[in-house]
Structure 1
Amino acid sequence: MIVTRALTKRYGRTLAVDAVDLEVREGDRYGFLGPNGSGKTTLVRMLLGLVYATSGEIELLGRPVPKRVSEVLPEVGALVEGPGAYTHLSGRRNLALLDASGRGGGRRTRRRRIEEALERVGLAGVDRRPVKAYSLGMRQRLGLAGALLNRPRLLVLDEPTNGLDPQGIREIRELLVELNHNGTTVFLSSHLLAEIEQLCTRVGVVDHGRLVLEDDLATLRAETGRVLLGTPDAAAAVAVLDGRVEHRDGDKLLVRHGNPAELNALLVAEGVPVTSLQAERRTLEQVVLDVTGAGSDRFGGR
C-alpha cells in the first residue's frame, strides 16, 4: 500500500527525512512513531504529494507519487497537521464542499455519505453551528469524517486523537479497528506510544529523519524469557527457585524462566502458593527507547 525507497527531503542544510525505506502492507494498522521534530509529518506530506521529495521514490497503492497522485488520492483518506475547514460554515457544509471538490463519490450519494461519516466519528447530532464554535476535539472529529467520505482503501492520519478526551480517543481507536477489519489499511503517525501500542499491528520508528526500526508489534513485544510471579510467601519462592529470581518487590518476583506453566507446577509441588503468574513481554516504550535513546520529554503518554 505504501512503499518508499531512499526517500529524502532537505530544507537547505537541514536533512528532515534521511533515506527512508518504508513498507506498509495491505491490511496493516501501521503506527509511524517518532518524537516531535523527527520528520514524521514531512514524510506524510510527501506521501500525499503535498511536498516534493529531494530524492528517492514513493509508491502509493502501487502507483508512483507525485507523478500519478491524482489517480491515487480518490482511494486515500487523509488527515494531516490538523483538520482544515471554513470556520464560518457548518461541519456538514464543509463536508459537502470537500465532497464536491472531487474526493468523494458523487452528488447522488453525497448527503447519505456525509451523514454516515458524521455518525461514525460521533458528530451525528451536531447542529448547524459554524466550525469556529467547535471545540478542538470536535474539529478533529470533523477532519476524520472528511477523511472517511470516499470510503478509502488507505487511511493516512497524522495525530488523529489530538484534542480528544480519553473517551473520544477510545472511540476513534475502535472506529479505526472496525475500518481496518472491513478492509481499510490504516497508517497512523503519532508520538503517543500508549495509543500506538493499543491500536497498531505493525510499527515504524523514525528518529532524526531516519527509519531506525520497522517490524510487527507482536515480534517486537516477544516474551523475554522471564516470568512475573506473585506469591504471599516470597521468601519460600526465592529459596525454591535457587538463584533464578532477578528482582523482588514485596510479594512480586521477576523470575528467569521460559515457561510459566512449568514454573507454576514447580512451586505448587514445593507447597509455595501462587497468586499470579505472567510471562514478561517488552513494552513498546522499552523497544523505542532502545533504538532512539529518547528521553520521556520527546515521546508523549496519555
Structure 2
Amino acid sequence: MITTKALTKRFGSIVAVNSVDLDVQDGDRYGFLGPNGSGKTTLVRMLLGLVYPTSGEISVLGSKTPAHVLPQIGSMIEGPAAYPHLSGRRNLTLLDRAGSGGARRTRKARIEEVLEQVGLASVDARPVKTYSLGMRQRLGLAAALLRQPRLLILDEPTNGLDPQGIREIRELLTALNESGTTVFLSSHLLSEVEQLCTKVGVVDHGKLVLQEELAALRAPTGRVVVESPDADKIAGMLNGQLDDRDGPRLFIRHADSAELNAWLVGSGVRVSSITAERPSLEQVVLAATGPGADRVDGTA
C-alpha cells in the first residue's frame, strides 16, 4: 500500500528525512509517531507528491508517482483546508465537483453521507470561519472521505475534538478500515493510537527508529504486577522473584498471572489486583526516541 526505500529529504544542510523504509500493508491501521521536528510532516507530504524527495524511492498504491493515484487517496495534512467565507456543504460541493464530476444528485447524496459519517449532518449554512476547531476537523475528514478512498492519510485527525468526538472518529476510522480502507495517520495522542492502530512506525530526527506490529511491541514483559495490602508478606514469600516494588504494588517475575494469583490466594494473602505487565505505547516511544528537536536548551 505504501512502501519507501531509503527515502531522504534535505533542505540545504538539514536532513529532514533520513533514509526511511516504510512498510504499510493493505488493511493496516498504521500510526506514524515521533517528536516535534522529527520529519513526520515532511515525509507525509512526500507520500502525497507535495514535496519531492532528494533521493530514495516511494510506492503508493503500486505507483511510484503519487500524483497518479491521488483520486484513490483521502488526506488531511497540517489541518483542514476550506474557503472560510463559504459553508461546509458549499466547500464540499466545490471539492467534489472538481474531483469526481458525475450527476448532481449523486454528488449531493455523497456529501450528505460523509457529513453524517463525521457528525455534521445537521450543520447549517453558516460560514466555515465561524466553526469551532473541532467542527473544522470534522469537515476536513469529510472532505477526505468524499471519493471513498482506498487509502486515508491523516495528520492529527482528532485535533480539537472533545473526548466524545475522539471516540466517534476512532470508531469511524475502525469501521472504514474493516470495510477495506487502509488508514495511515500521524498523531501526538499516543493513547488514541494505542486504541486505534494495528501497526506503528516511529521517527526521530528524520530516521525511522521503530516499525512493528503494536501487539508485538506490547507483548507481556515476563513480569506480573500485584497490588495488595499484604505487600510486605508477599515480598517475603517470593524467594528472589520480586523485581521491584512501589508501595503496595509488586513487580514479580512470573510467566502466568492466573497461576500466581491462585498461589497467593491459597497462601492466605489478599490481592487487590493482578495483571501481566505490558509496556504502554508511551513507554515504547520514549525508549526509542531522544529529546524533541524543538528544544533549545542544548539537550536535543
**Do the structures match in fold with TM over 0.5?**
yes
Cα distance, 1:106–1:41 mapped onto 2, change above 3 Å: farther
What is residue 52 of structure 1 aligned with on the other side? 52
More off after superposition, 1-10 vs 265-274: 265-274
Give the 3-state SS of the residue equivalent to 1:30 in structure 2: strand
Superposed displacement of residue 265, structure 1: 2.5
2-side partners of 1:174 and 1:107: how far apart? 30
1-side partners of 2:18 and 2:31: how far apart? 19
Q: Is the CA contact (8 Å cut-off) linking 2:204 and 2:290 kept in structure 1?
A: no
Superposed displacement of residue 106, structure 1: 5.6
Code of the residue aligned with 2:82 in structure 1: it is A
Cα distance, 1:196–1:64 mapped onto 2, change above 3 Å: same
1:91 corresponds to which of 88, 91, 99? 88
Superposed displacement of residue 256, structure 1: 1.4
Superposed displacement of residue 271, structure 1: 1.8
Cα distance, 1:105–1:264 mapped onto 2, change above 3 Å: farther
Runs of 4+ in 1 over 6 A off after TM superposition: none
Q: Are 1:11 and 2:11 matched, yes or no?
A: yes
Code of the residue aligned with 1:7 in structure 2: it is L
Percentage identity across aligned positions? 70
Superposed displacement of residue 148, structure 1: 0.4
Q: Are 1:194 and 2:182 matched, yes or no?
A: no
Cα distance, 1:243–1:250 mapped onto 2, change above 3 Å: same
Give the 3-state SS of the residue equivalent to 1:150 in structure 2: coil
2-side partners of 1:231 and 1:293: how far apart? 35
Code of the residue aligned with 2:58 in structure 1: it is I
1-side partners of 2:141 and 2:259: how far apart? 48
Code of the residue aligned with 2:170 in structure 1: it is R
Q: Are 1:2 and 2:2 matched, yes or no?
A: yes
What is residue 258 of structure 2 aligned with on the other side? 261
What is residue 75 of structure 1 aligned with on the other side? 72
What is residue 38 of structure 2 aligned with on the other side? 38
What is residue 185 of structure 1 aligned with on the other side? 182
Superposed displacement of residue 105, structure 1: 6.3
What is residue 221 of structure 2 aligned with on the other side? 224
Q: Are 1:208 and 2:220 matched, yes or no?
A: no
Give the 3-state SS of the residue equivalent to 1:228 in structure 2: strand
What is residue 239 of structure 1 aligned with on the other side? 236
Superposed displacement of residue 243, structure 1: 2.4
2:173 corresponds to which of 173, 176, 184? 176
Taking the TM superposition and a 5 Å limit, the aligned residue runs for 1:290-301 are 290-294=287-291
Q: Is the CA contact (8 Å cut-off) linking 1:161 and 1:172 kept in structure 2?
A: yes
How many equivalent pairs are there? 295
Code of the residue aligned with 1:210 in structure 2: it is K
Taking the TM superposition and a 5 Å limit, the aligned residue runs for 1:95-174 are 95-103=92-100, 107-174=104-171
The superposition leaves residues 110-147 of structure 1 with CA deviations (integer Å, 9 ceiling, x where unpaired) of: 11110010111111110000111111111111000000
Superposed displacement of residue 103, structure 1: 4.8
Q: Are 1:22 and 2:19 matched, yes or no?
A: no
Q: Is the CA contact (8 Å cut-off) linking 1:104 and 1:150 kept in structure 2?
A: no
Give the 3-state SS of the residue equivalent to 2:277 in structure 1: strand
Question: Over aligned residues, Cα RMSD in angstroms?
Answer: 1.7
Cα distance, 1:123–1:217 mapped onto 2, change above 3 Å: same
TM-score, normalising length from structure 2?
A: 0.94
What is residue 298 of structure 2 aligned with on the other side? none
The superposition leaves residues 57-99 of structure 1 with CA deviations (integer Å, 9 ceiling, x where unpaired) of: 1111111124xx23x1111110011111111111001001110
More off after superposition, 191-200 vs 267-276: 267-276
Superposed displacement of residue 108, structure 1: 4.3
More off after superposition, 264-273 vs 199-208: 264-273
The superposition leaves residues 173-198 of structure 1 with CA deviations (integer Å, 9 ceiling, x where unpaired) of: 11111111111110001222222111
2-side partners of 1:106 and 1:234: how far apart? 70
Code of the residue aligned with 1:164 in structure 2: it is L
1-side partners of 2:85 and 2:262: how far apart? 68
Q: Is the CA contact (8 Å cut-off) linking 1:74 and 1:104 kept in structure 2?
A: no
**What stretches of structure 2 of length at least 5 have no aligned partner?**
296-300
1-side partners of 2:18 and 2:244: how far apart? 41
Cα distance, 1:105–1:79 mapped onto 2, change above 3 Å: farther
Q: Is the CA contact (8 Å cut-off) linking 1:104 and 1:149 kept in structure 2?
A: no
Q: Is the CA contact (8 Å cut-off) linking 1:99 and 1:105 kept in structure 2?
A: no
TM-score, normalising length from structure 1?
A: 0.93
Superposed displacement of residue 276, structure 1: 1.6
